[in-house]
Amino acid sequence: MKMKKMLLFGFLLGILFCKAQSNDYWQQHVDYKMDVIIDVKSYQYKGKQELLYTNNSQDTLKRVFYHLYNNAFQPGSEMDLRIQNIADPDGRMVNKVQNSEGKEVKESRISKLLPNEIGYLKISNFKQDGVSAQTKEVGTILEVVLATPILPGKSTVFTLDFDGQVPLQIRRSGRNNSEGIELSMAQWYPKIAEFDFEGWHADPYIAREFHGVWGNFDVKITIDKNYVLGGTGYLQNPNEIGYNYQDTGVVVTIPKKQKTLTWHFYAPNVHDFTWAADKEYVHDKYPAENGVTLHFLYKNNPAIIDVWKQAQPKTAELMQFFNKTIGNYPYKQYSVIQGGDGGMEYGMCTLVLGEGKLNGFVGLIAHEMGHSWFQHVLASNESKHGWMDEGFTSFIEDLAVNELAAKKVGNPFAGAYKSYIELANSGKEQSLATHADRYDLNRSYSVASYSKGELFLSQLIYLIGEDNLMKTLKRYYKEFQFKHPTPNDIKRTAERVSGANLDWYLTDWTQTTNTIDYSIKKVAEKDNTTTILLERIGRMPMPIDVLVEYTDGTKESYYIPLRMMNFQKSNPKLEIKWTIMNDWAWAMPNYEFSIQKPLSSIKKISIDSSDLMADVKRENNVFVNNK
């Protein structure tokens, strides 16, 4: 019965998805069926996969590609070599050792893995509609030359067998993490690559994040009966499993002679499937709004139980805030699971380290659960546009944490501005258009994706107003859920909501390293009239808010629209007089206007008193009259 309900749910989501499509939009579709048996002693597993693949493109496909992520965890892999050659390797992926000269150096943990510690995923018996197909494995990618090309609008069935070994936990997935969780099973199966209007996205796995095809997953996992599992999807046989999954009042007794349990999960309309398992998991359930059940799985460790219990109502509050701010979470369960190497988002769940203090732990959950909107419903390409998922999630995380805080701050995005401005002034910034694997430094990638990506949205408050931005987020979510939105999609949504032209903003902010730098160049008085001369120093243009504070305690705002934006925003602070000036064209380096008051009546003049414009040299934004 539960399977029928889930199938119906997936069907209804599919109807909503189809109705949401524009005439020229298409995306591929997959239906996975997997049966896997886990050997918990050797950390190896064997599985069978059946994949119904539907080609909704206009292309005839002669090849397909699969990701074999486990293969990255082998000495000599691209991930290993990247760790060895980047100037600031991820601390989780290195060991600190002394070299022959007695100096401390960092060595790749992957480079030291033994044969029984590496990860691997081996494919055999690959068939297309029952006919063998030619396969070639290169690192973390499997290339398949099809027996029969897939015509536009047609479907085919791929079947394969796979053998895997779970690596020592180094990055996201693996066994025996730093907190003792046995199995963190992320990206553990042969996963078909995304094919879209840009072509195949068969990127090798070098430690960044993921891109996947929307579809349904029917997964059976057979494992030692003493292990408790959590992850993506809905458990179809809870009354056979127990462990607090069973229906109320049901007592589950597993015969002593029975060695294993088969956990049957179904996940409709997702683009990945993740799970974790441990013998010592406590499993709590907590109700959230709209009939969603929150699941919490964590070690039965007295040192962390109180924090995990206290985090549960906070998690429900966070979900409520995200629902209100963006749109309703579309599934009926979400699981917070102790595992992985920090925090990482997956379909209907997150793996998080769980031994921190409450505030930091809730902040971690806020970020990872926020990805359920910005990545697991709005599935942007994280390799090409990491700022769209990390940055947008950071934005709503900061809003949510501030909303739940006992003491709220005026600008919850201040930390992101500080990080971005430091990077922009360091000379080490690379464009947001840089592929995630091609950043020179991990630090540059992180600040760009998280902080500069967050500022893409927070600056829209400055550009089009807070009300228009929040309407933009809701419309973006409504129109692009269960799709693969691109940067142009968020830009066009903001334009449709506000009426502003924003192509210049998307171009300068995401495709260049142009910076914003405006200054108050000169303030002078003549005949009891004060003249203010502004200068644009940076390449990136912006509309300008100038706040004038008078010696009598009153204030006045002067708004200078940007000509190429073709837009005038509303007064963000109704209590302050708001004067709209003539626009400022980009080609004009200077702008001058006058105030019909003597300089002696002016106490202070500020460009962007809201601090929502990412000016990289804020010290020249203020004039203080000391006379």
344 closest CA partner among 316, 387, 318, 375: 375
Higher pLDDT: 98 or 503? It is 503
Q: Which amino acid is at 498?
A: S
Mean pLDDT of 260-289: 98
Tell me, what's the pLDDT at 100? Answer: 81
Tell me, what's the pLDDT at 23? Answer: 64
Answer yes or no: is pLDDT of 249 > 80. Answer: yes
CA distances from 404 to 312, 369, 488 (A): 14, 15, 32
Both tokens of 254, joined, read 């597993």
Rg (CA), the chain: 27
Please report which helix (H) or strand (E) contains residue 238, including its range: helix 238-241
Tell me, what's the pLDDT at 255? Answer: 95
Query: Which residues have CB under 8 Å from 344's CB, separation 6+?
Result: 172, 186, 350, 351, 352, 368
Tell me, what's the pLDDT at 246? Answer: 98
| Residue 181 CB neighbour total at 10 angstroms | 26
Residue pair 299/278 in contact (Cβ under 8 Å)? The answer is yes
Mean pLDDT of 308-331: 98
Tell me, what's the pLDDT at 18? Answer: 39
- Condensed to tens digits (0 to 9), the pLDDT of residues 377-387 reads 999 999 999 99
Tell me, what's the pLDDT at 2? Answer: 47
Tell me, what's the pLDDT at 14? Answer: 46
Tell me, what's the pLDDT at 15? Answer: 41
Residue pair 49/159 in contact (Cβ under 8 Å)? The answer is yes
Tell me, what's the pLDDT at 88? Answer: 97
Round to whole Å and give the CA distance between 334 and 285.
Answer: 10
Answer yes or no: is pLDDT of 6 > 60. Answer: no
Q: Which is it for strands 215-224 and 29-39: parallel, antiparallel or unpaired? A: parallel
Higher pLDDT: 190 or 24? It is 190
Tell me, what's the pLDDT at 12? Answer: 46
Tell me, what's the pLDDT at 174? Answer: 98
Query: Which residues have CB under 8 Å from 40's CB, separation 6+?
Result: 182, 183, 223, 224, 227
Tell me, what's the pLDDT at 35? Answer: 98
Mean pLDDT of 476-487: 98
Q: Could you give the angle at the alpha carbon of 35 between the alpha carbons of 29 and 37, nearest 5°? A: 145
- Condensed to tens digits (0 to 9), the pLDDT of residues 46-89 reads 999 999 999 999 999 999 999 999 999 999 999 999 999 999 99
Round to whole Å and give the CA distance between 578 and 491.
Answer: 27
267 closest CA partner among 6, 14, 481, 1: 6
Higher pLDDT: 141 or 11? It is 141
Higher pLDDT: 621 or 16? It is 621
Both tokens of 11, joined, read 């069907």
CA distances from 358 to 180, 286, 351, 371 (A): 20, 17, 16, 20
Residue pair 292/276 in contact (Cβ under 8 Å)? The answer is no
Q: To the nearest whole percent, how much of the chain has pLDDT over 90?
A: 94
Average pLDDT, the chain: 95
* Distance linking the first and last C-alpha atoms of the chain: 80
Answer yes or no: is pLDDT of 514 > 80. Answer: yes
Both tokens of 568, joined, read 């005038």
Query: Which residues have CB under 8 Å from 374's CB, separation 6+?
Result: 380, 388, 389, 392, 393, 396
Mean pLDDT of 596-611: 97
Mean pLDDT of 179-207: 97
Tokens 């920090």 belong to 342
Tell me, what's the pLDDT at 220? Answer: 98
461 closest CA partner among 421, 424, 413, 501: 413
Give, as one character, the DSSP assignment of residue 271: S
Tell me, what's the pLDDT at 555? Answer: 97
Give, as one character, the DSSP assignment of residue 504: H
* pTM of the predicted model over 0.75: yes
